[in-house]
Amino acid sequence: MSLANSVLAVNDDLPIRTNLPVHSGKVRSVYWLTEEDSRRLIEEKGYDVASDAPLAIMVISDRISAFDCIWRGEGDVRGVPGKGAALNAISNHWFKLFKEQGLADSHILDIPHPFVWIVQKAKPVMIEAICRQYITGSMWRSYEKGEREFCGIQLPDGLKKDQKLPELLMTPSTKGILKGIPGVPEVDDVNITRSDIENNFAAFNLRSKEDIAEYERLLSEGFEVISKALADIDQVFVDTKFEFGFVTDKAGNEKLIYMDEVGTPDSSRIWDGEKYRAGEIVENSKEGFRQMLLNHFPDPDILLNKDRFDERVALARDNELPIEVLQQVSDTYVGIAEKVTGQKLVLSDNPKAEIIKVLKEEYGLID
């Protein structure tokens, strides 16, 4: 089978029974199940959720986004072989570890296939919860220009690029466009301070100020769990993004959970430990792909300048990347997934056919 066929590039056309439009993001598509199917699965499978909780099928793809654009390779290869399975495997591993160590549950109820999650609907906390252990990327660029305050936190002078920070920094930003918060611009992904959250907790879908401390605890402890596990395989956990939401369990308890994905090469920076100690940065995350794009095109400002977004979209649309570039990205994702999980990642020649088969035969969600 050709490389193009083995890549799951389109994931919003599966014949899953739903009466709502399929929501398709940059990488995942979400199919909301009918009320009847949600209730049936909760009863049949014994999920620890309220009997009337809405469930969804979340299907990952092999698409790769960077700088808010989707990129493709030569020969109409519209994704990275193994990327979807690698992301899911890594997230599954960390979510399981969090639960085992008593941190919190996740939105995932079941994993029918390496590309598929059955998830419960959560009320999202409207905060992109970002943790930084090293100064690099956009933070370093701002620091180098003289900025010292980040999300209300003051950094000392004299820091060097890529060095470990004195302490773990939580630098939150808005998730989506939030309106009516004093001093917070009505745009997506804008930096906020802890005071912004404290003074407007309801606008962020938090129930009380006490929830702020809980979200910060899950953020810092989750970061520490992943950081320690990665150190065991000589990888450096540099920074990451967490997302949280509220759900109600079978007993009627409302609780804060992890959602989206955690500790993946898409949502985190991960460096090779041996190379870092030798003074070299080797990325085991999507950051390597971003750097390749910046080096690949003659005018990298198009990728970095928000005012040139239309040009950026055209760049991604009109340029096929060399297959060897996509293969390098595949090697990075599959390699780190196998290191994290300690298991060989088994890739499929036809993931779509496998997904349809299992959702039809074992879950009764396809007619």
Burial of 2 (0-12, 13-18, 19+ CB in 10 A): exposed
Q: Would the pLDDT of 215 be above 90?
A: yes
E-strand spans in the chain?
23-24, 28-32, 55-60, 64-66, 69-73, 108-113, 116-120, 123-124, 127-134, 149-150, 153-154, 164-170, 173-174, 235-248, 254-259, 268-272, 320-321
Rounded distance between C-alpha atoms, residue 239 and residue 227, angstroms: 10
- pLDDT tens digits, residue range 36-94? 999 999 999 999 999 999 999 999 999 999 999 999 999 889 999 999 999 999 999 99
Output the pLDDT for position 5.
62
Just give the CATH number of 123-277.
3.30.470.20
Ordered by start, the domain boundaries in the chain are: 3-122+341-361, 123-277
The pTM score is 0.93
* Chain position carrying tokens 């252990």: 133
**Coil, helix or strand at residue 73:** strand
Question: Checking phi first, is residue 245 left (phi over 0); if not, alpha (psi -120 to 50) or beta?
Answer: beta
Note whether 122 and 65 are within 8 A (CB).
no
Rounded distance between C-alpha atoms, residue 159 and residue 321, angstroms: 36
- pLDDT tens digits, residue range 122-133? 999 999 999 999
Rounded distance between C-alpha atoms, residue 302 and residue 290, angstroms: 13
Q: Whole-number mean pLDDT of the chain? A: 94
Output the pLDDT for position 23.
95
Instruction: Identify the CATH homologous superfamily for domain 3-122+341-361.
Output: Phosphorylase Kinase; domain 1 (3.30.200.20)
